[in-house]
């Protein structure tokens, strides 16, 4: 990821978020031939699960067990810890 961080390229991901705002799972959308290794994706998934929690105040969470949050992020924002 560090090697890719100087470009404006990025990846698509979908976060599965629980009713209490915790990231349960991460789904990555990558090009067929990517230079990102599976170990890097595992580390990224672990970091997202442990470091991110969403504030869902004002959202009705009674009728669902989780939410899908699709997003596109550039590699630099991942390295900087500034995913928005």
Q: What is the pLDDT along the chain (84 residues), one digit of tens a residue?
A: 455 555 556 788 999 999 888 999 999 988 788 778 888 889 889 988 988 888 877 777 778 888 888 988 876 666 666 666
The 10 Å CB-count burial string (b at 16+, else e) for 38-50 is eeebeebbeebee
Rounded to 5 degrees, what angle do the CA atoms 17, 15, 79 make?
125
Helix, coil or strand: residue 44: helix
Rounded to two decimals, the pTM is: 0.76
Q: Given CA atoms 54, 55, 60, 65 in this order, what sign does their dihedral have? A: positive
Is 37 in contact with 8 (CB distance < 8 Å)?
A: no
């Amino acid at each position: 990821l560090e090697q890719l961080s100087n470009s404006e390229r990025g990846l698509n991901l979908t976060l599965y978020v629980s009713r209490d705002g915790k990231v349960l799972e991460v789904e990555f959308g990558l090009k067929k031939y990517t230079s990102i290794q599976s170990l890097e994706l595992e580390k990224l998934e672990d970091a997202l699960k442990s470091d991110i929690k969403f504030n869902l105040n004002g959202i009705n969470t009674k009728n669902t067990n989780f939410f899908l949050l699709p997003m596109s992020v550039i590699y630099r924002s991942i390295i900087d810890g500034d995913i928005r």
